[in-house]
Amino acid sequence: MKPAEETKILIIDDDEDFLSILNIKFKKEGFLVATAKNGEEGIGAAKSEKTDIILLDMALPKKGGLEILADLKSDENCKNIPVIILSNFSEDENIKKALSLGATDYFIKADNSISDIVQKVKKYIG
Amino acid sequence: MASFYLFGTNNGWLFLLIIKRYNKSVIIEIITNIFLSKILVAMIDIVAIFLAYVVYRDNHKALLNRFYVWMTILMLMWINFAYLPRLISQDYYDLGLVSLRIAWFASPLFAASIYLLSIYLVDRETRFKITTIFVVIISVACSLLAAFGNTIISDYQVINGITTITYGSNMLLFLGAVFFQTAMILLPIFRDKEILKDRKNVLFYAGVFIFLFFNSIFNIALPIYFRDARFYFLGDYSTLILLIFIAVAIVRHQLFNIKVVVTEILSFFIWAAVFLQIITATTLNQRLFSVGLFLYVLIFGIFLIRSVKKEIEQREKIEAIEKELQRAYEIEKIAHEQLSALDGTKNQFFMAIQHHLRTPLTSMRGYSDLLLEGVYGKMPKKVREVVEKFKISTVSLINMVNDFLDITQFQLGKKVVSVKEGVNLSNILKQIIDDIQLEADKKNIYLKLEKPEKDCLISADESKLHVALVNIFDNCVKYTEKGGVIIKLDVGTDKIKIQVKDTGMGIPKERLEKLFSSPFERTEQSKKSFTTGRGIGLYLAGEIIKAHNGKIWAESEGLGKGSAFFIELPKN
């Protein structure tokens, strides 16, 4: 496993509180954190900077999470970056769609403590 | 005294001119005017009577249909009495004059009937207005004027089969009345164009226009301005066209199927032709042959008409069924659209609930995590305790939202459970027992997992199964005051069985069956013990177990005798 200090996490979420909570937590754990509040910013960030893992929300303004996921997965530079969906949408259809589009995993925000989230993210950093 | 001399004896020079002009065809004309017109009038009579019969048969109780029959009678009076003078010799001049006056008696009444029909068709009005009464009075006055006295028809003459009428002093008045009637008949379409959207009205006014067109040409323009009365009869006979249109407008469209009408008219023509042969036969043999032929074509015709009608009736039935089907389909389609719209709204609602309820809860949970981790600095012990309580409340609120969402989804028949292989049931059981052990300890009751199995792997939705089992175990602990709860796991070859036995308040027999079938229902006893229970735990547990193709049931000897819950799940 890569040491946390060299791992760059990109969090795409429009909820400022949640974004700040994750930012603080991951920084505290020693990760490099980049944040984006919408799909355009997120895809731009993923393309321009070396990113090791992306945490992506579903309900986003303009472009929805599934669309962003599809865009990321069809981009040559981004398609190998693991994308973990972090959303409060818990419907089975949503989860299946995201996984079929190439999401690495799907967590329901409210059901996980932030320590759980960090643990799960660490699992996917190769 | 103003007189209208059309082809009267007073205008003999004109008559001679006509004879000269049509010299070559004078013989043909006589044949045409007398012989062919005889057949023509006979045919018109037959068709008119036939139509009246069809309309009457269609609905003999309806005012409109009965009115049509009266119109036909007026029309027959008009046509036949106008024709009669051409048949009889000038020796019966008086009879001819009376006959003409009868025809002229009928024609204003016929026009009045068209007017009345127009009011009825357009306004659906059967009560009489002042204008209506006025038109009727004028028509009746014209009729009486024409029938009695010589102020309208003063004289007539038949030459070469053409009836030439000498008009009397009141003819201008009569013509004025005709124009007035015409204006009154046509007025509604100029007043309100909407009325032509109705198929019935279009047919009626089309007939009226043709009738008026023929009349104005052959009864007014040609004889009065061009002094040619040879085609006068065409104006009269155009009443038939009007009657046909009205009949079609009155009678259901399908009955007037062109196939039936053509068959019937053809049959009538054949019958009439053969019948004429019987009359005109010169020898007995010929007559007998004609009678035989007539009987043959009569029977043949009747069968032909019947078979065509039957065919059309059957087609009508099929069309009716088709229409019904189409309507049913339309209704179904609308219902389907409404349903999918409703489904869309439902989904929107879900998205909104999930998002709006969970998002702030997620932040609350996240911030309390950060606080407890000391990200914002070290807290005094008391504050820390409060934050811990805050976090526990937040998590239980999150769980409650999850339960409500799951229940609603189950009730709407949505797929809630997504099964994965290799779920470790033993771990789930241990975890749940660890979680609720604290509460059991507080109540001083025991909570035991009997003969714990090592790593029992099944196919399940881990988080949902967790929710189901928590709800049942928690329920047992909640309603047990003495003794305790024992959980037993039996692992079979293809299914597992979880047994949860408590020494609690028990369940009344009548409640056992309904225990898992509806949410928000709690026993009276449980309401007394815990006012805050939601009454959804067992229902949700039941739904989750059923969604796993499992079975869930409860047994109890009754109140105060404890209860046992059984859960059976397939391993795969």
User: What are the pLDDT digits (tens) for B72-111?
Assistant: 999 999 888 888 888 777 778 888 888 888 998 998 999 8
* CB contacts, 8 Å: B349 with chain A: none
Residue B346 burial (CB count, 10 A) = 14
The shortest C-alpha distance from B416 to chain A (Å) reads: 6
User: Residue length, chain B?
Assistant: 572
pLDDT band of residue A82 (cuts 50, 70, 90) is very high
List the single best residue of B350, B354, B461 to mutate versus A (max A Cβ within 10 A).
B354
**Which pair of structure tokens corresponds to residue B560?**
């105060």
- Cα–Cα distances (Å) from B23 to A39, B36, B223, B228, in that order, read 100, 19, 20, 15
Domain with CATH 3.30.565.10 in chain B: 420-570
pLDDT of residue B257: 63
A91 and B361 in contact by Cβ < 8 A?
A: no
Helices B462-478 + B381-411 axis angle, to 10: 110
pLDDT of residue B13: 45
pLDDT of residue B229: 74
**Which pair of structure tokens corresponds to residue B280?**
């005109």
Q: Which residues of B touch A (CB under 8 A)?
A: 350-351, 354-355, 358-359, 361-363, 365-367, 369-370, 373, 375, 398, 401-402, 405, 409, 414-418, 463
Question: Does A114 touch chain B if contact means CB atoms closer than 8 Å?
Answer: yes
Query: Hey, is B399 helix, strand or coil?
Result: helix
Distance in angstroms (rounded) separating the CA atoms of residues B50 and B40: 15
Q: Are B495 and B486 in contact (CB under 8 A)?
A: no
pLDDT of residue B258: 64
Mean pLDDT of the residues in chain A: 89
Whole-number percent of chain A with pLDDT over 90: 48
Question: Does A113 touch chain B if contact means CB atoms closer than 8 Å?
Answer: yes
Among left, alpha and beta (phi > 0; psi -120 to 50; other), residue B149 is left
Distance in angstroms (rounded) separating the CA atoms of residues A83 and B404: 29
Low-confidence ranges of chain B (pLDDT < 70): 1-36, 123-128, 252-258, 451-453, 520-535
Q: Does domain B420-570 have CATH number 3.10.690.10?
A: no
pLDDT of residue A23: 93
* CB contacts, 8 Å: A59 with chain B: 351, 355
The shortest C-alpha distance from A35 to chain B (Å) reads: 17
Q: Look at the block and give the residue holding tokens 């996984």.
A: A99
**Which pair of structure tokens corresponds to residue B168?**
């009397």
Domain ranges of chain A: 4-124
Question: Does A15 touch chain B if contact means CB atoms closer than 8 Å?
Answer: yes
Q: What are phi and psi of B458, to 5 degrees?
A: -135, 170
Q: Look at the block and give the residue holding tokens 């979880």.
A: B498
B369 and A93 in contact by Cβ < 8 A?
A: no
DSSP B453: P
**Which pair of structure tokens corresponds to residue B152?**
């309208």
List the single best residue of A11, A58, A111, A117 to mutate versus B (max B Cβ within 10 A).
A111
Residue type, A2: K
**Residue of chain B nearest A114, judged by CA positions:** B366
**Residue of chain B nearest A58, judged by CA positions:** B355
A17 and B370 in contact by Cβ < 8 A?
A: no
**Which pair of structure tokens corresponds to residue B295?**
């009987």
Whole-number percent of chain A with pLDDT over 70: 95
CATH topology of domain A4-124: Rossmann fold (3.40.50)
Query: Hey, is B564 helix, strand or coil?
Result: strand
Q: Are B127 and B116 in contact (CB under 8 A)?
A: no
Q: Are B115 and B185 in contact (CB under 8 A)?
A: yes
B358 and A28 in contact by Cβ < 8 A?
A: no
pLDDT of residue B385: 93
The shortest C-alpha distance from B340 to chain A (Å) reads: 17
**Which pair of structure tokens corresponds to residue B31?**
């044949």
B415 and A111 in contact by Cβ < 8 A?
A: no
- Cα–Cα distances (Å) from B303 to B8, B251, B264, B291, B306, in that order, read 51, 23, 11, 18, 5
In angstroms, how far apart are the furthest CA atoms of chain B? 140
User: Residue length, chain A?
Assistant: 126
Long-range CB pairs of B24-28 (<8 Å, 24+ gap) are B26/B160
Q: Does domain B4-253 have CATH number 2.60.120?
A: no
Distance in angstroms (rounded) separating the CA atoms of residues B192 and B187: 9
Could you report the predicted ipTM of this complex, rounded to two decimals? 0.87
* CB contacts, 8 Å: A96 with chain B: 418
pLDDT of residue B545: 93
pLDDT of residue B507: 85
Q: Are A53 and A7 in contact (CB under 8 A)?
A: yes
Strands A53-56 and A8-12: parallel
**Which pair of structure tokens corresponds to residue B359?**
């998002």
Q: What is the DSSP string of B500-549?
A: EEE-SS---HHHHTTTTTSTT---HHHHHH-TT--S-HHHHHHHHHHHTT
* CB contacts, 8 Å: B359 with chain A: 15, 18, 88, 109
Distance in angstroms (rounded) separating the CA atoms of residues B148 and B19: 33
